[in-house]
């Protein structure tokens, strides 16, 4: 599957990986470490290239001027950032296994080959392949990509109308747009408004979202 960045020639800018803590709220325990992702003892996933960190700071500053109709003051909550290739490979396989489980079939069943291929395609919409080729790295493995959400002032992540990393249409940014338009006072409108707000401050800070 081709990605939006597939034709972009990579030229490493040499920016170092820098820690996001304590400047940003980082969700703990780390969700991928909890399912056994092989980070290693010294591999802190909450790191990004220094230039990305600067953009996040700008996005957080923009967010501080906004509020949520239900909870008031907001902050960015970092779900995941830098990800080694070995972790990318683990999480792609984990996502495939979990999606098969949710659909009620064993991926090792020879009679489910077609269903397994469909799951692989579905997962590939949201997860970049764990390519070791330096010309086609997963964005997270470059230290240039981040998964984040909104949280209230106490650090509690907000409901956004879909779980992070969900495989399916709920992960499409505008998934709730139509329902929000038809019922501006409904829950879907709240979720859509939060998604739009997150997109707005990220755009203002120069942060872009890609398939992870």
- Residue 198 falls within a domain, yes or no? no
- Residue 185 falls within a domain, yes or no? no
- Residue 209 falls within a domain, yes or no? no
- Residue 179 falls within a domain, yes or no? no
pLDDT at 16: 95
**pLDDT tens track for 119-144:** 999 999 999 999 888 888 899 999 99
pLDDT at 1: 61
Range of the domain at 102: 84-142
**pLDDT tens track for 178-194:** 999 999 999 999 999 99
153/146 Cα distance (integer angstroms): 21
58/206 Cα distance (integer angstroms): 8
| Cis? peptide before 22, omega within 30° of 0 | yes
- Residue 167 falls within a domain, yes or no? no
- Residue 194 falls within a domain, yes or no? no
Interacting residues of 79 by C-beta distance below 8 A, sequence separation 6+:
27, 31, 147, 148, 149, 164
Res. 20: pLDDT tops 70: yes
**pLDDT tens track for 82-114:** 999 999 999 999 999 999 999 999 999 999 999
Average pLDDT, the chain: 92
- Residue 206 falls within a domain, yes or no? no
Mean pLDDT across 47-61: 96
> Which residue shows structure tokens 């209230």?
152
- Residue 8 falls within a domain, yes or no? no
b/e burial code for range 171-190 (CB count within 10 A of at least 16 → b): eeeebbbebbeeeeeeebbb
Number of domains the chain contains = 1
């Amino acid at each position: 599957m081709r990605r939006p960045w597939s034709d972009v020639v990579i030229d490493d800018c040499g920016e170092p990986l820098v820690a996001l803590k304590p400047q940003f709220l980082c969700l703990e325990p780390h969700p991928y470490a909890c399912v056994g992702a092989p980070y290693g003892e010294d591999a802190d996933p909450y790191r990004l290239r220094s230039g990305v960190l600067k953009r996040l700071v700008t996005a957080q500053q923009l967010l501080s001027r906004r509020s949520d109709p239900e909870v008031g003051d907001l902050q960015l909550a970092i779900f995941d950032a830098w990800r080694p290739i070995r972790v990318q490979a683990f999480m792609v396989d984990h996502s495939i296994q979990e999606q098969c489980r949710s659909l009620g079939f064993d991926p090792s069943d020879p009679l489910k080959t077609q269903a397994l291929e469909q799951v692989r395609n579905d997962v590939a919409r949201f997860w970049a392949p764990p390519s070791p080729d330096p010309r086609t790295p997963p964005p997270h493995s470059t230290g240039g990509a981040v998964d984040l959400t909104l949280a209230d002032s106490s650090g509690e992540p907000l409901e956004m109308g879909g779980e992070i990393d969900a495989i399916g249409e709920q992960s499409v940014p505008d998934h709730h747009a139509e329902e929000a338009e038809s019922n501006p006072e409904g829950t879907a409108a709240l979720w859509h408004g939060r998604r739009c707000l997150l997109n707005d401050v990220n755009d203002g800070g120069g942060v872009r979202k890609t398939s992870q």
